[in-house]
Structure 1
Amino acid sequence: MTATVEHAVPFFAPDLFEADRDVLLELLYEVGTCPDQKFILGGRTACFEEALRAETRAADAVACSSGTSALTLILAAMGIGPGDEVVVPAFGCAPLASTVLASGARPVFADIDPVRLTMDPAGAEALVTERTRALMPAHMFSVMADMPRLRDVADRAGLRLVEDSALAQGGALEGRPAGLWGDAGVHSFVQVKVFGMPGEGGVVLTDDTELGERVRMLRNHGQDGRNRFLHHHVGHNSRFDEVMAAFQLHRMAGLPARVARRTEICSYYSERLGDLADAGITAPGVGGDGRFPYVYTLLCEDRDGLRAHLEAEGITTHVYYPRILPDQPAFAPHASPDGHWPQAREAARLNISLPLYPHLTDAQVERVADNVRAFARRRTG
């Protein structure tokens, strides 16, 4: 029997910003009636950038229109273009490849670590050639990439390190926040992210103030911010919205509590599901350095069976990246014909993510775990 709507556990929270609805409407009115009529890149955006700098301890934080745009701006600011290569993971989101291609450079796909599901440092190093300009690892699901080793590879090879930390706000490794291991990193604020908002947005984080200044110009058509209509570079339109800046400033005070609740749910899932290897289900461990609570992902040999079982109980799951980047029609022509990505293919075949958002109730979280365990019992008899 299928669960009723009242007892459903959706994957994406349908009431994500319900508690802040009135505040959002008030801010919309405030910005819309403000005498300066500044709707983008105004004082609220500047305050939001300052708050992000304080939170991450970055030298510069440049708000822009999306996480994808943030990667685009970084590559442009680094001067990466035609004839260059950027090593990216074979498993992950499309912007890892598309932003490189949009710059005129070529993405070179590296296999992943089978536990972290992030770019394997040794595999990445083996792909470095005289054309390589940068490594661009991405933190995946709820585990940061092995940034100390990747930082070492980049430094020894004289490469830039671009850190796709779009998912990882709230994460830290060896005491360093996600986004600050690379020469530049990014966060995304699309609604389902850890610090999501009801719209698109992102930020570039860097300790290289010269790089930050170039990004700041490039996001606004190459202007320097002091002399409008003086264009130093061929830039982009990647500007941040003042209403969203005000809304994120309002919600920042509650971010630690939301991260803590997400972390609590992750820990509960791992405690309940960590012993299911005999049923072909592998869960991430409890806690650990370099973790962040974005998406809780299992690896399951019978993924379709588990999805169908949970769906029948009213629990919606999600499969991220069921096809590796080198197999995507858009990117396959640029992939090495003799490329070999066995761990990435396994991750694409096995991954399945469970509901994870701050206002899941304890009862809902327990029901998700109970039903995963019920499926495992059915498989093992």
Structure 2
Amino acid sequence: MPFFTQSATFSDLWPTTRGHIVDVIENGKYSHGRKVLELESALAAYTGAAHVVGVNSGTDALVLLLRACGLAPGDEVVVPAFSFIASASSVVPAGGRPVFADIEPDGYGLDPDAVAAVAGPRTRFVMPAHLFHQPADLTGLLAVARRLGLTLVEDSAEAIGMRHDGVHAGLLGAGGVLSFFPTKTLGALGDAGAVITNDPEVAETVSALRHHGRFGPTIDNFPGIATTTGLVGVNSKMDDVQAAVLLAKLGRLDADIRRRAELADRYARGLTGVPGVRKLPSVLPRRASVRGVFYVYVIEVDRRDELAAHLAAHGVGTETYYPVPLHLQPCFADLGHRPGDFPNAEAACRRTLALPLYPDLAVDDVDRVCDVIRSFQTGGHA
């Protein structure tokens, strides 16, 4: 079975999707048009954000959010050593310098105490990433940010549907982002992303930056060719075709989230007590009410790479999240980090393995994956 597919979901949604796409074609505006506005409004209603700004990708969303929040050249941004590369690489084109900190060993989120330990006189921002199935410790991180005078922005690219005390992830600080990469909980058929924020100035600046820095009146009351270029921006407009796909899928998002939770529970029952499985995912008790969402199902195992090969030999696709910690990536060699600097992040990189988890997956498929893992750990054959 593949690590991810949405063929059945897309087949079911094709009549609704087709209607949205026909609307785009008949309107004649294929990028940055009315369908994008419609999606932004629907996402604002879903997340509770005062403002949603659609862009070309989740990575662009991070870059533009940091710029809109006032990141100045040379400002430091504390980011986790364990995350997707964009959590750190986005800081550089925004003009800043990433500073790595370790993660909590159980939740994979940025450790508030580690943030306090690495923050220095040039540190201006802290940017946790909400990974896999739950938000980082936002209570602790907000307390550190207030104490040190830092702006908190959230890499909530994986976190649609996640909430902290009823507030959607991405809206606890100055703003957050969403990624609609096809494998995400709400995925497009290509790249797309969004910035979410309750700050009107941040939203206005991101809206300008995504369209070459243009402010001012627009054509036909939707984003077109604005009259004033007030900032040096980029071309990060969202395609209306991707917005059409996302609008069709947004209507079943909560059902998909429930299905993901059911499959995760099936995995938990099938893998509990299996030798060599060091850790199964769970939503950690926090100082706040947390609603988790299973974007991927990540376990920690001994002999991770051997297990991945064993699963592949039995037709089961997996992904490694993430094989190299960010502080040891070659592109950040100039920061001078060495193995052992962030032990929790490095341990996670050695042990974590993501198993198939998506609404099209059948319960029998989950049972099959569990059987193959059990056969590897016990030395038998599935």
TM-score, length basis structure 2: 0.91
Work out whether 1:295 is the aligned partner of 2:296: yes
Query: How far did 1:337 drift?
Result: 6.2
Q: Residue 280 of structure 2 corresponds to which residue in structure 1?
A: 283
What is the SS of the residue equivalent to 2:67?
helix
Cα deviation digits, residues 301-359 of structure 1 (max 9, x gap): 11122212222221111112200111111112135569811111101111111000001
What is the SS of the residue equivalent to 1:359?
coil
In the alignment, which of 3, 8, 26 is matched to residue 11 of structure 1? 3
**C-alpha contact (below 8 Å) 1:280/1:302 kept by paired residues:** no
Work out whether 1:304 is the aligned partner of 2:305: yes
Query: How far did 1:235 drift?
Result: 1.2
- Aligned in 2, Cα 1:148/1:218: closer, same or farther, shift over 3 Å? same
Cα deviation digits, residues 34-67 of structure 1 (max 9, x gap): 2xx2222222211211111111111111111110
Q: Residue 213 of structure 1 corresponds to which residue in structure 2?
A: 204
Q: Residue 120 of structure 2 corresponds to which residue in structure 1?
A: 129
Q: Residue 191 of structure 2 corresponds to which residue in structure 1?
A: 200
**C-alpha contact (below 8 Å) 1:270/1:286 kept by paired residues:** no
Q: Residue 4 of structure 1 corresponds to which residue in structure 2?
A: none
What is the SS of the residue equivalent to 1:348?
helix
- Aligned in 2, Cα 1:244/1:14: closer, same or farther, shift over 3 Å? closer
1-structure distance, mates of 2:138, 2:282 = 19
Work out whether 1:176 is the aligned partner of 2:167: yes
Work out whether 1:329 is the aligned partner of 2:330: yes
Query: How far did 1:144 drift?
Result: 1.4
Q: Residue 50 of structure 2 corresponds to which residue in structure 1?
A: 59
**C-alpha contact (below 8 Å) 1:219/1:238 kept by paired residues:** yes
Query: How far did 1:19 drift?
Result: 2.7
Q: What letter corresponds to residue 17 of structure 1 in structure 2?
A: F
Q: What letter corresponds to residue 5 of structure 2 in structure 1?
A: A
Q: Residue 243 of structure 2 corresponds to which residue in structure 1?
A: 245
Query: How far did 1:211 drift?
Result: 1.2
In the alignment, which of 19, 23, 46 is matched to residue 30 of structure 1? 23
- Between 279-288 and 218-227, report the one with greater CA deviation: 279-288
In the alignment, which of 124, 133, 145 is matched to residue 154 of structure 1? 145
Work out whether 1:341 is the aligned partner of 2:342: yes
Query: How far did 1:293 drift?
Result: 0.9
Q: What letter corresponds to residue 282 of structure 2 in structure 1?
A: G
What is the SS of the residue equivalent to 1:101?
coil
Gaps of 5+ in 1: 1-8
TM-score, length basis structure 1: 0.91
2-structure distance, mates of 1:348, 1:376 = 20
Q: What letter corresponds to residue 174 of structure 1 in structure 2?
A: D
Query: How far did 1:270 drift?
Result: 1.5
Q: What letter corresponds to residue 177 of structure 1 in structure 2?
A: H
1-structure distance, mates of 2:335, 2:325 = 13
In the alignment, which of 263, 277, 289 is matched to residue 265 of structure 1? 263
1-structure distance, mates of 2:132, 2:359 = 16
1-structure distance, mates of 2:242, 2:216 = 20
Query: How far did 1:267 drift?
Result: 1.4
RMSD: 2.0
Structure 1 runs of 4+ off > 6 angstroms? Answer: none
Q: Residue 33 of structure 2 corresponds to which residue in structure 1?
A: 42
**C-alpha contact (below 8 Å) 2:107/2:284 kept by paired residues:** no
Q: Residue 232 of structure 2 corresponds to which residue in structure 1?
A: 234
Q: Quick one: percent identity of the two aligned structures?
A: 41
Cα deviation digits, residues 179-234 of structure 1 (max 9, x gap): 11221101111100000010111111111111111111111111125152311211
**C-alpha contact (below 8 Å) 2:109/2:131 kept by paired residues:** yes
Query: How far did 1:246 drift?
Result: 2.3
Matches within 5 A, 1:89-108: 89-108=80-99
- Aligned in 2, Cα 1:86/1:286: closer, same or farther, shift over 3 Å? closer
- Between 89-98 and 185-194, report the one with greater CA deviation: 89-98
- Between 281-290 and 153-162, report the one with greater CA deviation: 281-290
Q: Residue 221 of structure 2 corresponds to which residue in structure 1?
A: none
Q: Residue 71 of structure 1 corresponds to which residue in structure 2?
A: 62
Cα deviation digits, residues 5-49 of structure 1 (max 9, x gap): xxxx11021625233345545544432232xx2222222211211
Query: How far did 1:88 drift?
Result: 0.4
What is the SS of the residue equivalent to 1:75?
helix
What is the SS of the residue equivalent to 2:229?
coil
- Between 291-300 and 338-347, report the one with greater CA deviation: 338-347
- Aligned in 2, Cα 1:77/1:335: closer, same or farther, shift over 3 Å? farther
2-structure distance, mates of 1:375, 1:239 = 47
1-structure distance, mates of 2:68, 2:348 = 32
- Aligned in 2, Cα 1:143/1:274: closer, same or farther, shift over 3 Å? farther
2-structure distance, mates of 1:375, 1:10 = 19
- Aligned in 2, Cα 1:261/1:287: closer, same or farther, shift over 3 Å? farther
